Structure 1
Amino acid sequence: MNTDAKYLNNYATGGAIMRNTEGKMIFAVSYPLLAASSLEAEIASVFYAIEWALNEGYLDFMVEMDAAVALRYITEGEVGRWRASFQENLLKANRKGVSFSHVLREGNWVAHFLSESSSAQINKFNMIWFLIFLVRPVKLIDLCDLFNILSFRYAY
């Protein structure tokens, strides 16, 4: 699963995409977040996506993110300093076989697009736009990512 977040003007949004072992998209989500900084937004995005995936029954998956500092806080167990719920979510994720990895920004195109789209769609309060027009670009970016056209995901 790839996750990303956007924080701008005290407003945070996130996005995530889950792929199977062949790299094919299983699901893609975007969501608003409560955060006071870009670092907290990245961490909140990861835990929102993990919670969503676990609730859908997915276990033993890897979370890839491009925010190296946020990844360090998560892997070193330092996330409780923001919210106790982060620490609880980390413990739950570890029990369910979730692991974490850094990916270059170029390998996170789809999640980045989802976090950007989430902010555009929520700021305008236009859910119909999201349902009609977001699906096609996400599938296109995911296909390009899968075939290594736009992204360097599999090249490094």
Structure 2
Amino acid sequence: MSAERIIGQVGNLIEQLGDAQKLGRAFRGDGDCVWAKGRQVVAGRRPSLVAWVKPPTQYLKLNTNASVTSAGAFGGGVVRSSEGKVIFAFYKEFGEVSVVHAEALALLAGLNYCQERHFTGVRAESDSDTLVRMISSGALANWPLCNVLRKLRCLLANLGATVSHVYREANMVADAMASAQLGHEVVYNGEEAMPRRIKALLRLDRLAVPYVRH
């Protein structure tokens, strides 16, 4: 994707935000109008721009996500440098587990790969607010999720890593990895062999191109 096309996409996103705000102002005094009623439903939830943020220099960022369908549960993730360079990415299949369990297994897989490579100070991100809250609060869960949570807390401490919640729009590469349906476990040690769609998302992230969050 050319730089000109990417810049054009950013311009379109900004125009969408401007149009949404103008629409709200246009119907502010017409409470009986059907468009005004529609606006009232989403009052306080204006669209915003969300983008993946590079980690600080000398840190790595791990993004993970999971996908649960009728075919089973799948997870994926990617570790990138402060320049947005792919250090490694992965895809795994987990069988039949719940959404939160799959999210936890995806994060655990990413941290295990980091441990194998002796990475420390990793900043992990997940778009599962429930999982992040469970990890940070020390909350208990039913087996086998409780065992996964214990391993996650131990790994985070051993690696000097942190985990925080991000919106899905800032987690698009991990989301694409989790839903890639590759059919078997895969680890990419660089960007070259990754699917074309995911490489396009990586380029957008490196350029800090935002997504519209409604």
TM normalised by structure 1 equals 0.80
Amino acid at match of 2:206: L
| Aligned with 1:111 (options 155, 174, 183) | 174
Match of 1:26? 87
How far off its partner does 1:144 sit?
1.0
Q: Deviations over 1:19-49 (max 9, x none)?
A: 1122222111111125521111111111111
Q: Deviations over 1:110-133 (max 9, x none)?
A: 00000000xx2218x9xxxxxx97
Q: Is the 8 A contact 1:79 1:87 kept in 2?
A: no
Q: Which runs of 4+ in 1 moved over 4 A?
A: none
2:96 corresponds to 1:38: no
Match of 1:77? 138
**Percent identity over paired residues:** 23
Partner-residue secondary structure (3-state), 1:87: helix
Q: Distance in 2 between matches of 1:43 and 1:16?
A: 12
How far off its partner does 1:80 sit?
5.5
Q: Is the 8 A contact 2:135 2:152 kept in 1?
A: no
Q: Distance in 2 between matches of 1:21 and 1:78?
A: 32
The number of aligned residues is 143
| Aligned with 2:150 (options 87, 98, 108) | 87
Q: Distance in 1 between matches of 2:140 and 2:171?
A: 22
Alignment root-mean-square deviation, CA: 2.4
Q: Distance in 1 between matches of 2:154 and 2:141?
A: 11
How far off its partner does 1:79 sit?
5.7
- Give structure 2 stretches of 5+ with no counterpart: 1-61, 186-191
Partner-residue secondary structure (3-state), 2:118: coil
How far off its partner does 1:92 sit?
2.6
Match of 2:109? 48
Q: Distance in 2 between matches of 1:38 and 1:15?
A: 13
Q: Distance in 1 between matches of 2:162 and 2:124?
A: 6
